[in-house]
Structure 1
Amino acid sequence: MTKRFTKERREHIHHLLTERKRITVKQLSEELDVSEVTLRTDLKEMEKVGLLTRTHGGAIMNEPTTATGSFKKRSQTNLKEKKIIAQRALSLIEDKSCILLDASTTALELAKEMKKLNMKLTIMTNGMSSAIELKENPYFNVILIGGILRPGSMALEGSVGIQTMDMLNSIDLLFTSSSGFSVESGLTDFNFYETDLKKNMVSRAKHVVALIDHSKFNTNSISSFARLSDIDTLITDHAVEIEIAKQITAHDVRLIDR
């Protein structure tokens, strides 16, 4: 079997757990051709970010929370900061643009601001809540990306979404957020299924805008979907530390932090 990098191996472990709900270290070792010591380290790190619960000799998949409860809780976290970011992001939007929004709660706040605009816009999103916010504006052409709706999420995920995006010849702006951001890892998230779609979004957009509140700086989740070099503009709510700001702008990223 071809050896996998750590990230790829952990993604595969997560996929197996999603299918089987529980798995043993011995089974993983046989299927992945990796030592049990390495796999125990993988499971320990994956448990830290809430992807699983370790058991004697293996791990089980964590039971998901309900979609409404989980999304509602996240949407209220750092709400003031998200509103500041959303208002700053509006200045990047031009009439007759084609815009892509991810399903993050920060993008939802942007959608709430966008719906007040008197511009002709085509907006594509995999966020059900954002689509609902935007649909009443008569100037907007709103396209909801199809896919699978999973527990604990208001995001539609999967390959169907990629096929939907093929409908558009050009995407001017992508507004996306993440669970974590660092100079080294870029934008990272917990959900492998959603990061696969986000990677595709990043690859299609002419201009990638990261919407990152201050609490996400210098934190990493398990799966990266955009390196710093993939980002064109980063918007946050607080002034960024001087050294970090220098590293961000050194990658030709426009930083909007005040």
Structure 2
Amino acid sequence: MEQGKYAVTLIWLSQSILDEPEMQAGMKFIGLGNNLLEYPSTFQTMYFAASTQGVQATSQSAFPPIVKQPIRARSADGLEMYVTVSFQWKLEPQALNPLYYLLGEDGYDDAFVRFARAAIISTCSHYPADMYFTNRTIIIAAMLEELEKSFQLPDKGLQANIKGLQLQEVDLPDEFDVEIGQTQAQLQELQVAYAERVEREVAMQTELLVSTQQVLGNLETQRGESEGVLELNQAEVDQLLLFQERQALANNEILQQFENDTQPFERCHLSVCLPELA
């Protein structure tokens, strides 16, 4: 048995298979008249594509890739489409015996095609046509999940791993393609307008921030100047009060000197005019 293969042993006399599959490459003694039914042990590729470009390179292998025409499906809004898709699949060894009893020796290829086509058609029906151009990632993830469910049915004798799903092309009616082109152009214009709006908002916010800083700076300067004027005015008031207080004390002393004098004005005159006689 060659590398890259599993096998189950078919007993010719009873037309039954042994319970344990063969998983190691090498020479096998299976008995006279018996036969090894071989299955791929590595990942195989299934294509739903109109062109075989890039497929023929692996077609000479023991298990050539499965190539079928694009899948005819409908979107959630009822548009007919042709979907070009590919993915890889790999059988689990514990599923070989149930698979043989379920589909026979050579029937699994056609069954796998039916399972895959049904899963992809089902997924396509859940999404509107425009999403195949605007948000294809979500659709690819949903297709992969649906394929995994379809190929993991151990209770029915089917266990296969799925990976590498590629949604390569979605062919829609020409009228819709034109509409999609116009919609994409409008979306691009909308994105440009949004970017310009964001740029203007940033510029306005920057200008507002600069103006706010300038106003705060002016207020701080005016506050400093106001505090200086208040301090100067307070100093002048303090000086005037001190002067008035001293003037009042001086006047009080003069009044006390003449308090009991019967002729205060003459004394004042003498003290001013003839201080030496006072």
Is the helix fraction higher in 1 or 2? 2
Task: Tell me if both proteins adopt one fold, taking TM over 0.5 as the criterion.
Answer: no
Instruction: Please report the TM-score for the alignment, with normalisation by the length of structure 1.
Output: 0.22
